[in-house]
Amino acid sequence: MARLLTVLGFCCWLLASVVAQETPKTPGTTKEDEDVLKIGPKDPYTGGDPDLMAAAGVVAYGPFPWADFKTTANVDTVLGERRILWMETAHFRIGLSLKSAPWPESSEKRKALQEEIKLLRKKLPKVPEKPKKLDPWIRMHLYAQRLEACYRDLQSLLGVTDADFPAKGKNPREGAYLGMPDKFLVLLFQKKADLARYADRFCGMKDDTSLRWYHDKTFQLVFAVAAEGLEGFDEAGLHGHVIYAVMHNLVNGYNGFYYQLPLWFDEGLAHWYSRKVPSDVVNVQILDSEAVAEDKQSNWPVKVRRRAQHEGAFFPFETMAKWDKFAEMGYHAHSQSWSRIDYLMQLDREKLGLMLRKLKDLPPPVGGEKPAGEVAVMAQKLLIELFELDAATFDQKWREWVLKTYPKK
């Protein structure tokens, strides 16, 4: 358009006037919104073509139902029209306002992203083979691909398929989505202010960085994050954080969100899947009492090994089994929870899936929450029943495996 100005000012003024009418300035927008506003709500990689949408796993674009009998239009009314892209897949509804992202600098991250783009191009040939940057719609398709892969990962662990969840009603344990009656929800915001407004208006809480919430009117779990709030997180870091949080929601939603799983188990599983993403950051709140070098934080195998080789330097399982306050779990608690799951995964993945199924098949609590201790005791019984691991044996066998498997440096 700048070149047109030098040729014919009046025609350019007319064209600019038409464009301004088509893309009105939304109140409250900033430079961070420009990429989404510029690319617009129409997906350029499917163009709304039913065959391309089906190939890419796109069920629908917004507006569509959201949570607690609200729709995406209600969210748009609060946060601003045209500021969020909306997509529905087989198991998720996704809202995204992320700006364009550059390619990662490290070769490992670039290679991983290139493989994702390659897989995406098999479904959507219009996506460039090597895009100069990841525009908002490419990022939307990548996250849709990642989320559905995450869902399949959990189904594989559980040994189930969609056919195992015929929709029988509108309550948990009766629904088509791992037993939940409606799809899982994901909101990927660029700005903290957007997450804060969503949290306040639709969840009745205060948060501007990252949240998981249970919309109890329609029995749906939402994960929402503001990239701006994750200081030091690049695209790979955000990707890993999304997998960590969404796996939490899938595991907790499976067969109904009725009670809390043991923290070591729940956190360990979420970390195990998220750490498949090559990243330099960790999804952990490091305690003030913990000193961990920033450039070494992501090297969990080495960190765990150094603790496991010394008596009194690691958490015995009897201690881990009693954890029930997330805020009290620091770096070493999370890394060792991940490692316990890592050990059980290689020991017998099928039995670990069975353990999760049995933990989530306990009767729903009547007249209140199920005591955390009851679920923790059940987990300990299952470790003995399925793996022949009482607490002391678990500690011994895990330490032997860690010292044999994880590198020294």
Return the pLDDT at 44.
Answer: 98
| C-alpha–C-alpha distance, residues 13 and 22, integer Å | 14
Q: What DSSP string describes 114-127? A: HHHHHHHHHH-TTS
- Whole-model pTM: value is 0.92
Question: CA Rg, the chain, in Å?
Answer: 23
94 φ/ψ angles, rounded to the nearest 5 degrees: -125, 135
Torsion over CA: 54, 56, 62, 67 (sign): positive
Q: Output the CA–CA distances (angstroms, integers) from residue 317 to 84, 151, 357, 376, 395, in the order listed.
A: 45, 29, 21, 11, 6
Instruction: Provide the greatest CA pair distance for the chain.
Output: 82
Return the pLDDT at 369.
Answer: 75
Chain centroid to Cα 61, Å, comes to: 20
What DSSP state is assigned to residue 26?
P
Q: Judge whether 95 and 72 are in contact, CB under 8 Å.
A: yes
Strand order through the sheet with 210-215: 60-61, 85-88, 92-96, 184-189, 220-226, 210-215
Two tokens, residue 141: 């398709």
Q: Output the CA–CA distances (angstroms, integers) from residue 133 to 35, 255, 397, in the order listed.
A: 11, 40, 47
Could you report the per-residue pLDDT of 345-365, keeping only the tens digit for each? 999 999 999 999 999 999 988
CB crowding 201-226: b at 16 or more within 10 Å, else e:
ebbeeebbbbbebebeebbbbbbbbb
Q: Mean pLDDT by 10-residue block, N- to C-terminus, for the chain (409 residues)?
A: 30 32 58 95 97 98 97 98 97 98 94 97 96 97 98 98 95 97 98 97 96 97 97 95 98 95 98 96 91 86 96 96 93 97 98 98 84 90 98 98 96
Return the pLDDT at 209.
Answer: 96
Two tokens, residue 167: 């929709």
Return the pLDDT at 393.
Answer: 98
Return the pLDDT at 12.
Answer: 31
Residues 6+ apart with CB under 8 A from 92: 144, 147, 148, 151, 183, 184, 185, 186
Q: Judge whether 76 and 61 are in contact, CB under 8 Å.
A: no
